[in-house]
Structure 1
């Protein structure tokens, strides 16, 4: 693979992570990391999701994820409910506090993206989405 191609992809990655603000340890002026917010996202949209399922979705180490979930449980953001069928499995969902927190973070995220693209025309916004879909399609191509 051409060294220049790899360097250009890495350059874009550095640019994009800085633009969307994931290079600091806290997302959207909150006390939470990107991975913690992703756990909240998954628990919000898939109540009952398990840690094992999250490990696959987020592609993170099980031990790290376990500590992260424990922190969110301790802060009463995530609830763990033991499975009746298999006592080793816990379903995760957001508490009321977690739902309120996630809704606020989700709102801030949408506002940040709106601000990021406000200078673009409608056609340019549609082109941006088309290009992003193209990147996604290429990187998930088998």
Structure 2
């Protein structure tokens, strides 16, 4: 735990330096980070009760009261008793306060744009997705509105499929490098002989990172083959596997196939349950030595 604490503190020191909160004022002004944040929230609302503002920002009541008094003396805000409850105080930005808040907001946007400009598109995507993950985790890990997306592969994704199959099946089942070679051969043939009207690949993405895969390839004119279903361990239980299979089946129907088949291994119980729920039935199975292990391979199929 001490190592983790040190790592988080190191990140905090790094990030506060990057966004410049250690200086005397934000964006070359005399306003502190806390003051700038108060002005930002007031700009985002027509008016706010001081109690609501205090709870939103986690501020001490006395600290906020003194800050608002300074703002009022400087002509930035006005304060008045709430018409709904005289015990409560309502604060609003004045014209000068709105001007200052707008200037701070513009300066902040410029600094962030300057921070992002040197980065590649992939680096920007990784940065923002990592930030979203941090926010979600530290905010209590609440439910995601969009837990994952299913998309076509991007450059590098097919290599990721080979890599993750090799790593995960070695870690979880002890399979040797011949399995990774088999996956690489499947992917290479998909790329070499790809017919976009009758074959497709999908990547599941969680927080901007690949989390699953599946391929639909041609077996013959009537039959499609489902290949390379994979779901990252950290994202299992989210329904990704079933969703990928559903995408594959829908594409196969649109492509004109009337039947779909797949090969799996008996030990892959979670995948087998997904196939069964999707309507696949076991056709045949046999024992063989493969991937450095004794396995039972199974062929499953269903009509479309």
TM-score by length of 1: 0.94
Q: Which shows bigger deviation, 49-58 or 4-13?
A: 49-58
The SS at the match of 1:28 is helix
Corresponding residue of 2:87: 88
**1:14-65 deviation per Cα after TM superposition (whole angstroms, max 9, x unaligned):** 0000110011231111111111111111111022111111111111110011
Q: Is the 8 A contact 1:25 1:34 kept in 2?
A: no
Does the residue aligned with 1:80 lie in a helix, a strand or coil? strand
The alignment covers a number of residue pairs equal to 141
What are the ranges of 5 or more consecutive residues in structure 1 without an aligned counterpart? none
SS state of the match for residue 28, structure 2?
coil
Other-structure match for 1:130: 129
The range that moved more, 14-23 or 120-129, is: 120-129
Residue 34 of structure 2 is matched in structure 1 by 35
Q: Tell me, in whole angstroms, the C-alpha distance in 1 between the residues paired with 2:46 and 2:38.
A: 11
Task: Please tell me whether the aligned partners of residues 47 and 92 of structure 1 are also in contact (alpha carbons under 8 angstroms).
Answer: no
Equivalence for 2:71: 72
CA positional deviation for 1:79: 1.4
Shift of 1:118: 1.1
The aligned residue for residue 274 of structure 2 is none
Please state which structure has a larger fraction of its residues in strand: 2
How do 1:93-104 residues align onto structure 2 when only pairs under 5 Å count?
93-104=92-103
Q: Which has the higher helix share?
A: 1
Q: Structure 1, residues 59-110: CA drift from partner, whole Å, max 9, x if none?
A: 1110011000111111111111321232232211111111111111111100
Q: CA RMSD in A?
A: 1.2
Unaligned 5+ segments in structure 2 are 142-304
Aligned to 1:120: 119
Larger Rg belongs to: 2
Paired with 2:79 and 2:31, the residues of 1 have a C-alpha distance of 19
Q: For residue 194 of structure 2, what is the aligned residue in structure 1?
A: none
Larger relative contact order (Cα-Cα within 8 Å, sequence gap ≥ 6): 1
Q: Give distance in 2, aligned partners of 1:39 and 1:83.
A: 19
1:106 corresponds to: 105
Look up the match of 1:58: 57
Give the 4+ runs in structure 1 shifted more than 4 A. Answer: none
